[in-house]
Amino acid sequence: MAIITHQHGGHGDHGHDHEGAVGPHTHLTSVGIDIGSSTSHLMFSRLLIGYPSVLQRKPIVLERNVIARSPILLTPFSGDWNIEAGPLKELVDDTFQGAGLSRENIDTGAVIITGEAARRDNAQKIAELFSNESGRFVCATAGPTLETIMAAHGSGAVQQSRDQGLVLLNIDVGGGTTKISLIDNGKIRGTTAVNIGARLVAHDSADAIVRLETGGRRFLADLGESLDIGAKVPDDLRARLAARMARALFDAAAKNAEPWTDFYVTPGLGELPAIDGILFSGGVSEYIYAREAQTFGDLGPYLGRAIRREAESRGFNILEAGEGIRATVIGASQYTVQLSGETIFIPKSMQLPARNLRVFVVSVDWEAPVADKTESAVKKALGERDPEVRGTPFVLAFLTPAFNGYGAVQDMAGGIDRALANLPAEDRPAALVFVQNVGQVVGGILSEKWDMPCVDEVSLSELDFIDLGEVVESEGFLPVVIKSLAFGM
């Protein structure tokens, strides 16, 4: 059985003031930095982490209180459409100063680059520039799938679905793309992303186009318009563009319809069940919920109004979201430490520690044919990774029920072997993680061909990043630091 303890931040303080919490708990100061297609911003949070009861001995975020928010900055791009570091650094420095905090006061954090910004050549270098403390920060470029999952959690849609037993859609409308998640009783059942966003067409104060993405050209052509950089985009055309985007959005969500072949960024949701309600997040949601009046030289106000009209005309129940533009990354990250089981397999060639490994989850049961089902599940998990994260180190975490024998475990190893057979080295996981104590068995079977590290008795989710520590030689286990994107209770 795994031993679980808390990773205390360097500047965390202890207390016993949370009603219902049991045993010692600690406060951590976290920062979340989100660099997106349209806007960039950061948020400081105070996280209370502890044990919710005597029966649950895994520490969780008990409370999250926002202590400072930066202004919203239009993401600065240079002439070659790379991200400019200078204005972003100034935003971060000013927000630290305004909050009365220094880098040394921060216990944990996340730097997430999303949307069109994630596709720029220097995206990863920008993320690393702001992480500074590589061991404490999650530093990631998020593709549309992870971004969709983060938005669904950050808006409160997942929690509302879980608490009220609802089937919900969370629609995250940003500058470059719109992400949709289907949530059933607190579980994200499907995600998709489409080329709809407020800054597919952007203009200056004289209404001249200064930014025109491929998707914007597509929508203009669909309306019989052919414009280019410098052309005027009148008010009535902006309204028509927004209305067309809103129709395309709900046609895509409800019917899997697409106006052209490259409209979908990721595969569609398939047939929807009955939907109890819709929540909106992302920058455009501030207009949908009438929380923002300022304009930023794009389609935001028009698109917000058009999406609300379209949702209402189709009979959808619009629910309030807890967060809008700041939903993608809230509260940065939470730390816990789990100690692996003693039945692990660590090849001598493995260089430890290994940090910031992204987690992709594979769910497998023990019903025959285990090998075939495992192979299919691994290929599905690998195939669903966003292009932006290909080539970065990751682990596969296997979620399995309790088992009755090692014959099925051997079959699972065979399925993993077949799934990895034709993959280039950069597409193979850096390690395998199991919730059951099967690491040594699987690792031994795979060692002849793959020499794959296998860690067991550790629980992970798709919102986790992990660090693998060094093996405690006298005990035969290793510490695993889990960094979860932390969304409020």
d(CA 203, CA 211): 7
Asked whether residue 85 carries a pLDDT value surpassing 60, the answer given is yes
CB 156 within 8 A of CB 323: yes
Whole-number pLDDT of residue 331: 42
Q: How confident is the model at residue 176 (pLDDT cuts 50, 70, 90)?
A: confident
d(CA 302, CA 203): 13
Q: DSSP label at 421? A: T
User: Which pLDDT tens digit goes with each residue over 310-361?
Assistant: 999 999 999 987 665 555 555 445 555 565 666 778 877 777 778 788 899 9
Rounded percentage of the chain residues whose pLDDT exceeds 70: 78
For the chain, the average pLDDT equals 80
Asked whether residue 222 carries a pLDDT value surpassing 50, the answer given is yes
Structure tokens at 216: 């914007």
d(CA 241, CA 304): 12
Angle subtended at Cα 167 by Cα 164 and Cα 168, rounded to the nearest 5 degrees: 100
In Å, how far from its chain's centre is CA 214?
25
Asked whether residue 414 carries a pLDDT value surpassing 90, the answer given is yes
Angle subtended at Cα 131 by Cα 127 and Cα 133, rounded to the nearest 5 degrees: 150
Average pLDDT of the segment spanning 78-91: 78
d(CA 306, CA 303): 5
Choose the weakest-confidence range: 249-258, 281-290, 307-316, 337-346.
337-346
Q: Model-level pTM?
A: 0.67
Q: How confident is the model at residue 149 (pLDDT cuts 50, 70, 90)?
A: confident
Domains and CATH numbers, the chain: 8-142 (3.30.420.40), 147-313 (3.30.420), 340-485 (3.50.30)
User: Which pLDDT tens digit goes with each residue over 61-81?
Assistant: 677 788 888 888 888 777 666
User: Which pLDDT tens digit goes with each residue over 347-382?
Assistant: 777 777 787 888 999 999 888 899 999 999 999 988
CB 367 within 8 A of CB 191: no
